[in-house]
Amino acid sequence: MAQVNVLDHPLIQHKLTYIRKQDTGTKEFRELVDEVATLMAFEITRHLPLEEITVQTPVADAKSYQLSGKKLGVVPILRAGLGMVDGILNLIPTAKVGHVGLYRDPETLRPVEYYSKMPSDIHERELIVVDPMLATGGSAAAALTLLKEKGAQNIKLMCLLAAPEGVKEVQEYHPDIDIYLGALDEKLDDKGYIIPGLGDAGDRLFGTK
Ligand code: PRP
Ligand code: URA
């Protein structure tokens, strides 16, 4: 069964508090989401394999390390996932970016796919799927299915906030995918919003409400 990891680094938790606050405006919200994405990416890339190499310093040879192993990819679920991309690319500038366009039908709460474009070599990459919100889990589960159908073999899911219902949905349909969260919240309301959550992530990021 996939692991659920809440990243409890103090800086992540502090910034999440300000992301949640209703009087945090669009500019600050966007900056904070960007910063938290960087911090979360820092935490979840701890396992990346290294190889030893020798480099010449101005003084002598030094045995040192560089990343080895698979190349990385970031896959935001549009729209709100876009807010987490640059924060990750700041750390891993060579990562390629795929996009999955999904919106949640407000009546059925089921995801509707409207776009996807992936790097051609996703089967060779370690992918981080990003979306601020894991609510019913329908959008994330659909994005993961789409990526697997396109050949992805190594995927992590990274979200700022989740409801237990969303975690359960992803675990049921994708038991092989590890989930990384800033916080695991209490529940969903009857409109499928995370309680206490942060409201509508896309609207807060892009100022559309
Ligand atoms: C939000 C959010 C997730 C989805 C989560 O996107 O960014 O993608 O809802 O809900 P779920 O877990 O119940 O599927 P939304 O559909 O509002 O689209 P947007 O990002 O374009 O605003
Ligand atoms: N999508 C959001 O943006 N917020 C929620 O709480 C649930 C889904």
pLDDT, tens digit, for every residue of 87-137? 999 999 999 999 999 998 989 999 999 999 999 999 999 999 999 999 999
Kindly state the tokens that stand for 74.
């970031």
Whole-number Å distance, alpha carbon 69 to ligand 1 midpoint, is 32
What is the rounded distance in angstroms from the CA atom of residue 178 to the CA atom of residue 158? 9
Q: How many CA atoms lie within 13 Å of 116's alpha carbon, on the beta-carbon side?
A: 19
Query: Please, where are the H alpha helices in the chain?
Result: 10-20, 26-44, 85-91, 138-149, 164-173, 201-206
The answer to whether the CB of 133 is under 6 A from ligand 2 is: yes
Q: What pLDDT score does 133 carry?
A: 98
Which residues does the chain have with pLDDT short of 70? Answer: none
The answer to whether the CB of 200 is under 6 A from ligand 2 is: yes
Confirm if 162 and 179 have CB atoms less than 8 A apart: yes
Residue among 129, 101, 39, 209 at smallest CA distance from 31: 39
pTM: 0.96
Provide, rounded to the nearest whole percent, the portion of the chain with pLDDT above 70: 100
Confirm if 122 and 150 have CB atoms less than 8 A apart: yes
